[in-house]
Structure 1
């Protein structure tokens, strides 16, 4: 075991840095870990000789697996503040799961090229939303009816599972666009993240066929060393990031992150056509 660790120390160190980075940003800016972990793993795996297509699907599945424990702690924290909307979750969960199972199954059978394209688009649009959206930019006075909410929940589950992100990246802007309170949107998104990550990661673990060029320790599409290195450090450094963020200008930091995220999304898109 020790010999294996010594032989792969550079890989383990890089994965641990990913966990630290994701935890700090999650605490510092309140962004979901998946939006950080997926692109970092995508480029990291390629540096080890993994193809771009394989790197994307393994990064997606591994990211979803890392979200499971972090979403549990986040749900607990938001529940204490009364910011998890249980009534909304009761109405949405069947449609979220439908979207998750459909999206995660597609990851196991479709080329990673398309998910790289999708992540690049979502990351770029999320960055632009952070940069230019104002607090009063709601487009509706309330959430739509049952049919509209069912569609929203299905879309969140479907697209989030395909690119390895929790519910916050899509659900928070969609909810707040319908004049839903921002603090409740963030708290409820933590629970949505668990509904996405647990079944999504399990589907990719059980149904995913491990590619021949997958990184060492990949089962199905989930990279176990990545999971074990990232999760503890993400959980450990998220409170550190939150403490730092309380002393800094979070609005300015979020704009800096949005610019970096936009560059990352564009870079992923550019790699597809180069």
Structure 2
């Protein structure tokens, strides 16, 4: 792929990522990982490290995206900061630990896990089960344990945690727009711990592309972050204007499309 097209693709990907991050409270890894895998493949990056590079690069790019998104949601009073503080320690531990597992798995099992996970979450959103009216958020210890699970899965599929955090919070009767804003805040420690883990685990790997540090390809991180920082606030505004039912359906369709794209890029 010519360098100009590669750069334009990264800029467009960053713009789309920021928009969806603000709109759905996701870090954007669900969008970036399959498309980055395809772009890196077209650039001739080493096949055995395609998904690892996509995962690490995605996690690094989520850091500024999450910051832009959470600022916009916080301005609308849609972030439950006590929940973020209680769930963050578990998320940091789970995310960092899971990057070590992901670094030893080959590309195809990671892609299969990613696709199945996304399809499962999409199905749950389509079914749209209503939580019991009396269900409440758990205490600090339970929230931290939930954080370990969210962080671990997030590191394996390089997501900001929104695909798990948003359904969990709405299951606990948190208003959808507030769940999206809180998820955006939770995505920041996930991205920070995940990016650090992929940086450490790829540090001594040979035959990686130039401008790569660990499993992070920095030109892609910079290009995507520039655009996502602009578009994330736009997505946040839309999240507070669109009806809840439409938001859920759009989110589910997005996840289904991403899981199919990942499978196609590595298995066809």
Shift of 1:21: 2.4
Query: Residues 27 and 65 of structure 2 are in contact (CA less than 8 Å); yes or no, is this contact kept in structure 1?
Result: no
Report which stretch shifted further, 225-234 or 245-254.
245-254
Q: Greater CA deviation, 65-74 or 146-155?
A: 146-155
- TM-score, scaled relative to structure 2: 0.84
2:55 corresponds, among 51, 60, 74, to 60
Tell me which of 85, 97, 119 is aligned to 1:102: 97
| Match of residue 249 from structure 2 | 255
RMSD: 3.1
TM (normalized to structure 1)? 0.82
Q: For residues 68-217 of structure 1, what are the structure 2 equivalents within 5 Å?
A: 68-134=63-129, 136-138=130-132, 141-209=135-203, 214-217=208-211
Corresponding residue pairs, total: 268
**Unmatched segments (≥5 aa) in structure 1:** 1-6
Q: Structure 2: where are the runs of 5+ without partners?
A: none
Could you tell me whether the CA contact under 8 Å between 1:157 and 1:167 is conserved in 2? yes
What are the equivalent positions in structure 2 for 1:45-56 lying under 5 Å apart?
45-50=40-45, 53-56=48-51
| CA 55–140 in structure 1, closer or farther in 2 if over 3 Å, else same | farther
Alignment CA distance shift 1:56-1:238 (3 Å): same
CA distance in 2, matches of 1:142, 1:16: 41
Shift of 1:44: 1.8
Q: Does 1:222 align with 2:216?
A: yes
1:4-48 per-position Cα deviation (integer Å, ceiling 9, x unaligned): xxx722321221221122233344555442221111112221222
**Residue 125 (structure 1) shift:** 1.9
Q: Which whole-Å deviations, capped at 9, do the CAs of 1:212-240 have from their partners, x for residues lacking one? A: 56444221000111101111111223345
For 1:236-269, what per-residue CA distance to the aligned partner results, in whole angstroms no more than 9, with x for missing partners?
A: 2334556778887785576356335314313534
Contact 2:114–2:259 under 8 Å retained in 1: yes
